[in-house]
Amino acid sequence: MSPDELYDDADRERLVPEPPKRVEAPERTAFERDRARVVHAAASRRLAAKTQVVGPQTDDFVRNRLTHSLEVAQVARDLARALGCHPDVAETAALAHDLGHPPFGHNGERALAALSGECGGFEGNAQTLRLLSRLEAKTFDDTGRSAGLNLTRATLDACTKYPWRRADAAEPAGVHSDGTPRVVVKFGVYDDDGAVFDWFRAGVAGRRRCVEAQVMDLADDVAYSVHDVEDGIVAGRLDLTRMDTGALWETVRAWYLPGCDDAALDEALAALRAVGSWPHASYDGTRRSLAAIKNLTSDLIGRFCGSVQQATFAERGDDPRVRHGADLVVPRATEVEIGVLKGIAAHYVMQADDRVALMGRQRDLLTELVEVIWDRGESALDRAFAEDWRSAADDAGRRRVVVDQVASLTDASAVTRHAALTRG
């Protein structure tokens, strides 16, 4: 049975019914149309100028949010195909997973979360759903309300990494790169967007993620873990042949693997070092050295995805892996190895003193930008957001509009907008 046959009409349903296209050549499936809508969305283009780990303006080599999303999409599509769920659904979720990130990545998310308590908070994944279901211009319902890209039920569910509201979220744990406690609560939907969330989650009990969302999340972790290390190596910030594991393990526990003891972390690092392409010499900028890093990246992605595929098939055999009928099985050893790689990037790149200082300035800039737009009101907003401002029922609604506006900006346009609004 093909992946298409495993999804029913309810999975393909859109919140706002759409008549068949008069001319559609070549004919596309509902999930192919979803993917095309995300690819062509304005929010997707803006990802090219948003920070992944290092700002996109700092180097021609480092990844930005768009290139990261493309890499996540490739991993997700291959893994979905291997597991038997729909590759288009998983790929679209991967392409969309970072759309809600504000300027300066997670650092900007931290600033906006601190400024939006009165309007329901801020979280990048919840902002992604808001973009897909409201802010991106594509479809309107009979009342004139925007339905965003009007994606299918299955695709919206796959895009939802945290399928719960802010009130149901756990308290954040761990620390930021400056050593302060994490403050951003992880949730996937603002109360204001609850209607569309309830529609695509109809019949789903509790907080369970569909398997396509699990594929997207794993692909994100895999890509994040190997590619941020690659960027750090090429930027000269880390050397896999020389690492102080004493300090490194503290970062790994604080950021990703709380409670994981040194023995388990040592074992994971030893397993990674046993991969045949793990470097035995420092990176020197030559083509041969670049090729060696690329080979390592490929081998690690294959290692992680292969272990999950094998473990998932071992538990469920050939049962269909569609929507809420199955879960991924991630071996603990794989989880720890991924955490170790992510911790290496965090320790040597994200916690670097120069980056921590820059992050502080970025948060200050976004804070000032939100407040100056709030003070000036409609006149400081782009036309689409000015319309939202006029239709808002109260100050909380208007505050959300300001946050939507700032979150939509790229790193560079946030700086430019700040300079224009605060000049003189």
Asked if residue 17 is part of any domain, the answer here is: no
Distance CA 239, CA 253 (A): 20
Question: Of 8-17, 54-63, 88-97, 104-113, which gets the smallest average pLDDT?
Answer: 54-63
52: pLDDT confidence band, cut at 50, 70 and 90?
low
Task: Give the tokens for residue 353.
Answer: 């003193």
Asked if residue 13 is part of any domain, the answer here is: no
Residue 367 pLDDT greater than 80, yes or no:
yes
134-146: pLDDT as tens digits: 999 999 999 999 9
126-136: pLDDT as tens digits: 999 999 999 99
Could you write out the DSSP letters of every residue in 105-168? HHHHHHHHHHH-GGGT---HHHHHHHIIIIISSS-B-TTS-B-TT--BHHHHHHT-SS-SBGGG
Distance CA 373, CA 377 (A): 6
219-248: pLDDT as tens digits: 999 999 999 899 899 989 899 999 999 899
Asked if residue 15 is part of any domain, the answer here is: no
Asked if residue 83 is part of any domain, the answer here is: yes
What is the pLDDT averaged over residues 361-371? 96
55: pLDDT confidence band, cut at 50, 70 and 90?
very low
User: 242: buried, middle or exposed (CB in 10 Å: 19+, 13-18, 0-12)?
Assistant: exposed
Contacts made by residues 398-402, CB under 8 angstroms, sequence distance 24+ = 398/374, 399/116, 399/118, 399/119, 399/374, 400/116, 400/119, 400/120, 400/190, 400/192, 402/370, 402/373, 402/374
- From residue 179, alpha-carbon distances to 98, 175, 259, 357, 376 in Å are 25, 6, 18, 12, 35
Q: Phi first, then psi: give them for residue 294, nearest 5 degrees.
A: -65, -40
Residue 103 lies in domain:
30-211
Question: Of 55-59, 190-194, 396-400, which gets the smallest average pLDDT?
Answer: 55-59
250-268: pLDDT as tens digits: 999 999 999 999 999 999 9
Task: Give the tokens for residue 127.
Answer: 């902002």
How many of the other CB atoms lie within 10 Å of CB of 71? 21
Distance CA 145, CA 132 (A): 14
* Cβ within 8 Å of residue 423, ≥6 positions away: none
Same domain, 284 and 381: no
Q: Among candidates 226, 242, 173, 218, which has minimal Cα distance to 343?
A: 226
Asked if residue 70 is part of any domain, the answer here is: yes
Percent of the chain with pLDDT over 70: 93
Distance CA 383, CA 203 (A): 38
- From residue 132, alpha-carbon distances to 126, 151, 159, 217, 397 in Å are 10, 7, 9, 18, 19
Same domain, 343 and 407: no
Residue 319 pLDDT greater than 80, yes or no:
no
Residue 59 pLDDT greater than 70, yes or no:
no
Same domain, 277 and 366: no
Give the pLDDT of residue 123: 96
Same domain, 224 and 151: no
- Average model confidence (pLDDT) across the chain: 91
Same domain, 204 and 219: no
334, 355, 376 - which closes a domain: 355
Residue 73 pLDDT greater than 60, yes or no:
yes
Same domain, 38 and 183: yes
143-187: pLDDT as tens digits: 999 999 999 999 999 999 999 999 999 988 877 656 677 888 999
DSSP SS3 for 343 = helix
Give the pLDDT of residue 19: 82
Distance CA 384, CA 342 (A): 38
Distance CA 249, CA 4 (A): 44
Find the CATH number of the domain harbouring 131: 1.10.3210.10
355, 381, 413 - which closes a domain: 355
51: pLDDT confidence band, cut at 50, 70 and 90?
low
Distance CA 250, CA 261 (A): 10
Q: Phi first, then psi: give them for residue 120, nearest 5 degrees.
A: 105, 10
Asked if residue 5 is part of any domain, the answer here is: no
Cα 85 from chain centroid (whole Å):
20
Asked if residue 12 is part of any domain, the answer here is: no
Same domain, 339 and 378: no
Q: Among candidates 53, 140, 137, 141, which has minimal Cα distance to 98?
A: 53
Task: Give the tokens for residue 31.
Answer: 């999930």
Same domain, 286 and 240: yes
424: pLDDT confidence band, cut at 50, 70 and 90?
low
Same domain, 218 and 194: no
303, 335, 355 - which closes a domain: 355
Asked if residue 152 is part of any domain, the answer here is: yes
Same domain, 61 and 205: yes
Q: Among candidates 372, 378, 379, which has minimal Cα distance to 414?
A: 372
Q: Among candidates 166, 163, 162, which has minimal Cα distance to 116?
A: 166
Give the pLDDT of residue 354: 76
> Could you tell me which residue, 387 or 64, shows the higher pLDDT?
387
Cross-strand bridge partners of residue 51: 64
Give the pLDDT of residue 25: 58
Task: Give the tokens for residue 170.
Answer: 């756990």
Look at the chain and report how many structural domains it folds into. 3
Give the pLDDT of residue 24: 59
Residue 56 pLDDT greater than 50, yes or no:
no
Same domain, 403 and 333: no
Could you write out the DSSP letters of every residue in 30-99? HHHHHHHHHHT-HHHHHGGGSBSSS-TTS-SSS-BHHHHHHHHHHHHHHHHHHHTS-HHHHHHHHHHTTT
Same domain, 197 and 62: yes
